[in-house]
Chains A and B, each alone.
Chain A
């Protein structure tokens, strides 16, 4: 036997090939059966064997010669993702009831935070890896909002106060228009009075000075009048800006409230999303254990 093998390398190669192909066929058959049986847990095991063992603290079985090569099914990721999404989203619906999902193309999911008006697109759901991919900007805004809340502040507070103060100022400018009109008439009267005065040559410098002071005051009034003329438009646009900011605050408020209802703190929420893969797969084991127990009791 030994001699034969040594002599016929091709034959050995063929048997290795056969065994490798068997391994791959077995893998795909295993995958196919797991999908047919709805055994998502095993599908995840097949998708990423190492991660599965590592996360679930499974001792690698040294006698396990099975092939775990997800690249064999890689191009079926969208279909697999769609298949796995049913149970995953059911699970997430329980654990993260404030997230909503939209499958914008096969197996690709957007995550929305909340179902309130103008809820935010908060990121994506990676079904194959059982992970949220939060949009960095949106996530940071929420994180900041939690930080500020601890100090009793709000994200847009400064900007909103600035805009409100500007609107107060502009409103005053409009209200004070009649006063400025009176002031202008008074200054113009003084100006005429100076101009009408026949001054001695040695007085002309002083006269010029007086006129200049009056002119400066009139220019100042012109400035304020111009601002007042544009005020209503500006007030309206500031109001819209304030509305935008308070809408964002309202949304952040709802987001914080939802998170706190389920997780207590933002840190707890973050911990939970970090260990989502493990928690999700353990939930299958938990169910299996329960089911097993039920059947044992029978």
Chain B
């Protein structure tokens, strides 16, 4: 009797186990189907809103379950890149940025059409499961931080200068600007269509944007240097009425370097003023070699601050 009971128990238990297995597979498959649906939307949808929802849904999705794993998967990083490229396409931004062709499931990388062969990709930020860095794969210094879930995009001045100004030195400026404009367009779409919080940082071309220097105070020599360097390039750094320095550049573009704080709590920085509001700090650095030399030489003082928590 005793043994029979044991055997019955065993049968029941086995049965349960098998049932649990099958329902686990079933839910795993359902989970997989949900994934496929999201993935198809990411790849095929014609609507920006559903594209964003799909990308958010796929990020941190965890496709594998205990009984069902999928050997070939695109990573969350890949999802961000597909989202970026598709959002640009949907908004008819000229095709200057494209994901490299792939033959199998592998890490996705993209290139700017007019730049050299540098590859770009998203990388886990470590700041949150939904936050990613966009960077050249050669050094992974993040050009911007993207968090679709929290609707945030923050540009990183240090890496932008390091890549577009230093690494790409000698590249046709128009081509560099073309690549930069892709990033700006991407951020603008996110801001305008979905209300993202975007810190354009040195890419901001709004006239009132104050680019704060990291040092707070800057020494007199730094401005003297700009004065001398500008004169050698036939531009005149002028003295404003309130102690600010004003540099009149081509096409009525005006660079103002000033203290936005007080004498005891200085907050030096720069403003770029132009009627069409198209010129940014990075634009000036790219267009005027003497400004770029000056900025890089005095970078300790002049570095424009980026979000210290994200990029610190």
Contact = CB atoms under 8 A, between A and B. Distances in A.
A292 B226 CA distance: 52
Chain B, interface SS category: helix
A240 B238 contact: no
Contacts of B224: 117-118, 243-244, 247
Contacts of B225: 243
Contact of B223 (A115, A117, A240, A253): A117
A116 B236 contact: yes
B90 interface: no
B245 interface: yes
B231 A253 contact: yes
Contacts of B236: 116, 254
Interface string B167-183: 00000000000000000
Contacts of A129: none
Contact of B238 (A115, A243, A246): A115
B12 interface: no
Nearest to B240: A115
A94 B88 CA distance: 55
Contacts of B231: 250, 253-254
A124 interface: no
A278 interface: no
A117 B221 contact: no
Contacts of A119: 239
Contacts of A250: 227-228, 231
B51 interface: no
Contact of B227 (A115, A116, A240): A116
Contacts, number: 35
Contacts of A117: 223-224, 226-227, 237-239, 245
Interface residues of A, number: 13
Contacts of B227: 116-118, 247, 250
Interface string A92-135: 00000000000000000000000111110000000000000000
Interface string A230-249: 00000000001001101100
Contacts of B223: 117
Contacts of B221: 240, 243
Interface string A26-44: 0000000000000000000
B228 A246 contact: yes
A118 B239 contact: yes
B179 to A, nearest CB: 34
Contacts of B238: 115-117
Contacts of A243: 221, 224-225, 228
A247 B221 CA distance: 10
A160 to B, nearest CB: 12
A243 B225 CA distance: 7
A254 B238 CA distance: 11
A253 B221 CA distance: 19
Q: Which of B221, B224, B226 has the most C-beta atoms of chain A within 10 angstroms of its own C-beta? A: B224
A254 B232 CA distance: 11
Contacts of B239: 115-119
Interface of B: 221, 223-228, 231, 236-239, 245
Query: Closest 8 interchain pairs by CB?
Result: A117-B227, A117-B237, A250-B231, A247-B224, A246-B228, A250-B228, A117-B239, A116-B236
Given A116-B237, A243-B221, A247-B224, 12 more contacts: A115-B239, A116-B238, A117-B224, A117-B226, A117-B239, A118-B224, A118-B239, A119-B239, A240-B221, A243-B224, A243-B228, A254-B236
23 contacts: A115-B238, A115-B239, A116-B237, A116-B238, A116-B239, A117-B223, A117-B224, A117-B237, A117-B238, A117-B245, A118-B227, A240-B221, A243-B221, A243-B224, A243-B225, A243-B228, A244-B224, A247-B224, A250-B227, A250-B228, A250-B231, A253-B231, A254-B236
